[in-house]
Amino acid sequence: MKNRILYNSSQFLISFSLFIGLGTTRIINSARSDIWISIILGTIIGLIVNYLIKKLPDKNSKLLYYFFNIALLFLSIFVITKLISSVYLDKTNVIIIMLPFIGLLLYTSTKNRYALMKVISLLNIIYLLIIVFAICSLMPTIDLDIFRPVMINSPQNILTGAFEFALYSTISLQVLPKFKENYSLKIYLLSSILLLIIFIMIVGNLGVGLASLYRYPEYMIFKNIAILNFIENIQNVLFFIWIINIYTLSSHSIINIKEMFNEKVCIGTIAALFIVMILTINNYSVTVFILDYLDWIMITLLIIYLLGKIKSHTDV
């Protein structure tokens, strides 16, 4: 029972990780004011995809699953570094910004999965408290007229937003161990409902135009929160939420590499990624490529993951 709770905590948090700085603006740009329709459809598609993945063997090709985890680690480091650099420390060298997170990953690589999930379960409580507070504060200011009339966007764009939601909410789950045995439909539905509320808060408070323009629209809506009209800058609390989400994804990825090989390979992978990040993080073309081709990157990762499952089955 205890292990189930720990696993569910990781599954819940990890569903949000690929939306931060990546999926949120992307889906809003696709679905516009019909974002709620896309998320409902995307949840149904995600449930179908996860059901089909559960039918596959638990084993995976070591090589392909290694590349899968490396790609998610790269995206995690890229997002958290860009986020801190853009929002908080725009004049600080990105290498300095990156170092604490790299150090955190190195420390995590020395731990086991059980210890990691215990930490994540505690972070889950903090995450929920902050999110519930944000929802209670921002719900009264939502302009529902923004979402009317319904289906103002083209069916193609609504479906695009739905497939994007399914991709971003599903791919991150595949870093969790024993997916076939431990995946919970109820937890996936819960995280999808919470994501739906977050998207409604963003679009309902900022409007479609501003929400699609901002790189971090979650940060902008938190600026609207003030406690008793004198405690402001609540948006900075959001930074802790981002850290929790991204750490949940990257920490499970790094533990996967350690369990597939050993701690030395794990540390070597982090060191190699650090060097790659130094060479690419300030390259504008790399940033543009990731943002412009994010959907195709996600589809490629899903294909790599599925091929790994198929290959492991044929090798038996």
**pLDDT on residue 2:** 57
What kind of fold does domain 2-315 have according to CATH? Amino acid/polyamine transporter I (1.20.1740)
Residue 184 Cα to chain centre, angstroms: 18
Cis peptide before 217 (omega within 30 of 0): no
The predicted-structure confidence for 193-211, as pLDDT tens digits, reads as follows 999 998 998 888 888 888 8
**pLDDT on residue 228:** 42
Tell me which DSSP letter residue 176 carries: S
Burial of 112 (C-beta count, 10 Å sphere; 0-12/13-18/19+): exposed
Report how far apart, in Å, the C-alpha atoms of 280 and of each of 67, 74, 91, 173, 253 are: 18, 11, 18, 26, 21
What is the residue whose two structure tokens read 């719900």?
139
Write down the pTM of the prediction: 0.88
Tell me which DSSP letter residue 56 carries: S
The predicted-structure confidence for 27-40, as pLDDT tens digits, reads as follows 988 888 899 999 99
- Sign for the pseudo-dihedral over CA of 181, 186, 187, 193: positive
**pLDDT on residue 173:** 92
What is the residue whose two structure tokens read 């302009």?
143
CA atoms within 13 A on the CB side of 272: 11
Residues 6+ apart with CB under 8 A from 35: 27, 28, 161, 199, 200, 203
**pLDDT on residue 230:** 47
**pLDDT on residue 256:** 93
**pLDDT on residue 232:** 52
Per-domain residue ranges of the chain = 2-315
The CA distance from 220 to 214, in Å, is 8
Burial of 133 (C-beta count, 10 Å sphere; 0-12/13-18/19+): middle
Which residue numbers in the chain have pLDDT < 70? 1-2, 223-238, 312-316
